[in-house]
Amino acid sequence: MKKDKIVYLREIEIRYKNKRVKNKSTPCGVISCAGDAAELFRDLENETKEKLITVNLDSCNKILCFEVVAIGSLKSVFLRPMEVFRTAFPVNAHAAIVIHNHPSGNPKPSQADKKFTSNLRRLAKDMGLTFYDHIIIGQNSYFSFLENGLMKTEIKNGEV
């Protein structure tokens, strides 16, 4: 006699918690340029480890949510590109911005940063998600892939 196998499925429950953030630079939580996002997450300049954050936006560039996707070491953070956009779908995000810091204070992107950004662009396109920018926070400065001509997407008051 054949025994039936018991199959277990993992159920995912998404919970959100509200977190008050400084919102001086972004009226009504709208991101209109890389500087807005950099200012909002400027506290990353004080971190001693690299942190990577994904900011999910609606079609008017209003922030839906953000997630600290990974925390790395002094010089690097390791993760699969698909982990970066995992919160975009439950909130029906139109677009995303990726932000991470360089604890050294120098926001210049490494070759690994450039390759990772290229992989993210490809993945976002395949998933139907607009990937606006990858911003690196340094000491009193930031680097925007969009502003420095390494990405072609433009943020235009809610329209791409």
Q: What is the pLDDT of residue 57?
A: 95
Structure-model confidence comparison of residues 4 and 79, the more confident one: 79
Domain ranges (residues) in the chain: 27-144
Among residues 107, 85, 110, 111, the alpha carbon closest in space to that of 98 is found at 85
Given a cut of 70, whether residue 28 has pLDDT beyond it is no
Q: What is the pLDDT of residue 50?
A: 95
Q: pLDDT tens-digit profile of 60-109?
A: 999 999 999 999 888 888 899 889 999 999 999 999 999 999 999 999 99
Structure-model confidence comparison of residues 130 and 28, the more confident one: 130
Structure-model confidence comparison of residues 140 and 26, the more confident one: 140
Which superfamily does CATH assign the domain made up of 27-144 to? Cytidine Deaminase, domain 2 (3.40.140.10)
